[in-house]
Amino acid sequence: MDADGLTQLMAAMRPRLHRYCTRMMGSAFDGEDVVQETLSNAVAAFSTAGEILRPESWLLGIAHHAALDALRRRKRQGRQESDEALANLTDHGAQADARVAATASLAMFLHLSVVQRSCVVLADVLGYSLTETAAILSVSVPSVKAALHRGRGRLRELVDVSDAALPRLADADLERLRAYAERFNARDFDALRDLLAEEVRLDLVSRARLAGRKDVSVYFTRYAQQPGCSVSLGWAEHRPVLLVTDPAVAEARVAYVILLDWTGDRIIAIRDFRFAPYVMESLTVQQL
């Protein structure tokens, strides 16, 4: 595999990597961060990797280690694994299908140990065999069997998940987000450019990253050329988001989401998932 082959592999594998990393992290947004780290690590490791006999397994192995590193950082920083999500789980003993992992909520996976989580995602979500799963994780097949047995059993106990009550935004925060949405839908992009902080950062996920008000201002030009695109207010993973209706991307009511971070009344960061539609597969959104 040459450098072009690596680029093609990473593009083809990105949705699959996201399905894995999202469930390891318990978050579609954090999972995408790990995917980006995985791709960066793969490029760095490629020149010294030698002959790669199983490119897909090699890349998933890098994703696994990137996820472990991210989980360690989370622990060092004192962050709990989605405390709000875990608090909303009700532990019932109801029986579920042996492959419930394919549709389990992200919060459920946080109740599994890391090795159980890895094995269940690889085998039951991504469809790898026991041998392939063992190779990706560098463990024995009996270890994979044991982890799968325990992980599947635990997921069967967690099939009922209560809906979390929507957190309440402060009136000022809600008005700020609503004003952004109204200006966006009115195509008043000059007003939105005026909201950008000088040090604003843009992550157009899976496509480009820009920094600084001058460069990020160009971001709105593309939306000015998309008259069918509109935004509304919503929640995803316990934070406010913009829900985007965009017929150019998907016919679904919500094609993708946009995250905004503010400092006072200035936008300090924009994270736009237009070019990463696979994220919606793992993301539960609610309309405000």
CATH of the domain at 252: 3.10.450.50
| Domain range enclosing 250 | 171-287
pTM: 0.81
* CA 273 – CA 234 distance, rounded (Å): 15
What is the mean predicted confidence (pLDDT) over 250-266?
A: 92
> Domain for residue 76, yes or no?
yes
Q: Does position 164 have pLDDT exceeding 70, yes or no?
A: no
Same-domain pairing of 125 and 183: no
> Domain for residue 166, yes or no?
no
Same-domain pairing of 82 and 203: no
Q: Does position 87 have pLDDT exceeding 80, yes or no?
A: no
* CA 223 – CA 228 distance, rounded (Å): 9
> Domain for residue 165, yes or no?
no
* CA 160 – CA 74 distance, rounded (Å): 27
Same-domain pairing of 209 and 121: no
At 11, give phi and psi (nearest 5°): -65, -45
Q: List the one residue out of 109, 110, 14 whose CA is nearest residue 62.
A: 14
Q: What is the pLDDT of residue 33?
A: 95
Provide the domain count of the chain: 2
Q: What is the pLDDT of residue 80?
A: 47
Alpha carbon of 228 to those of 192, 205, 223, 231, 276: distances in Å?
Answer: 18, 21, 9, 10, 19
Same-domain pairing of 134 and 214: no
Q: Does position 165 have pLDDT exceeding 80, yes or no?
A: no
